[in-house]
Amino acid sequence: MAGIFARVTDIFKANINDLLDKAEDPEKMIKQIVIEMEEAVSKATTAVGSAIANEKQLDKQYAEKHKLSAQWQERAIKAVNAGRDDLARQALEKKNMFEKARTDLEQPLTEAKKTATTMRAQLDQLKAKLDEARVRQGTLIARHQAAKAKKQISSSLAGIGDGAFGNFDKYEQKVLQAESEAEAMSELAGDTTSLDDEFAKLEAGSSIEEELALLKSAADKD
């Protein structure tokens, strides 16, 4: 029983953070620790049951020897009253035999009761620690899952860090540059078209003037 109790105490004294850091699968380890504690409590319960059974057996033997001693004491008294000293003597021998047996059981019975009481108290502590561990199990697993999620998020953010944002800015600048170039080309194209139109108007105007001069010249000849 002492070994069982020491094992569970060691589990609780252990630095749970160190255990989790060293474990490949902390959640699995937490569950395994609880399983070990459940097994320890089961073994302790069996041990306490045996101690209690031993106490009851000794107590029953003690009570039986006390009862037989009292019975032979009464028989000795009856034999004396009947004038049968020989029977009284035999009855007293029996009475002393059972009395000695009862006396011999006093120390073992006292020790058995003490052991059973101590083991009951230890078992109660084990059960309390197991209940605590079951509660902490859910909390620790939730904390570990939250830590993993936080780590994954941090890792993801690191993956799209300065380099990614720098590349994004770089491509944004390329887009802006392309837009600027397109706008400049558009303006240049607009200027060329305007100049061509001016010359076309000018040339069209000259042609009309020439035709007009020809008409006037022909009229004058008539």
pTM score > 0.95 for this model? no
What is residue 50's predicted lDDT score, i.e. its pLDDT?
Answer: 93
My answer on whether 23 and 132 are in the same domain is yes
Query: Does 221 fall in a domain?
Result: yes
Last residue of a domain, one of 131, 159, 187: 159
My answer on whether 102 and 7 are in the same domain is yes
The CA distance from 77 to 206, in Å, is 169
My answer on whether 29 and 110 are in the same domain is yes
My answer on whether 21 and 117 are in the same domain is yes
Range of the domain at 18: 2-159
My answer on whether 45 and 89 are in the same domain is yes
What is residue 82's predicted lDDT score, i.e. its pLDDT?
Answer: 93
What is residue 59's predicted lDDT score, i.e. its pLDDT?
Answer: 95
Q: Please list the rounded mean pLDDT of every run of 10 residues in the chain (222 residues).
A: 58 54 68 84 91 95 96 94 93 95 95 93 88 81 78 69 63 78 68 62 67 72 65
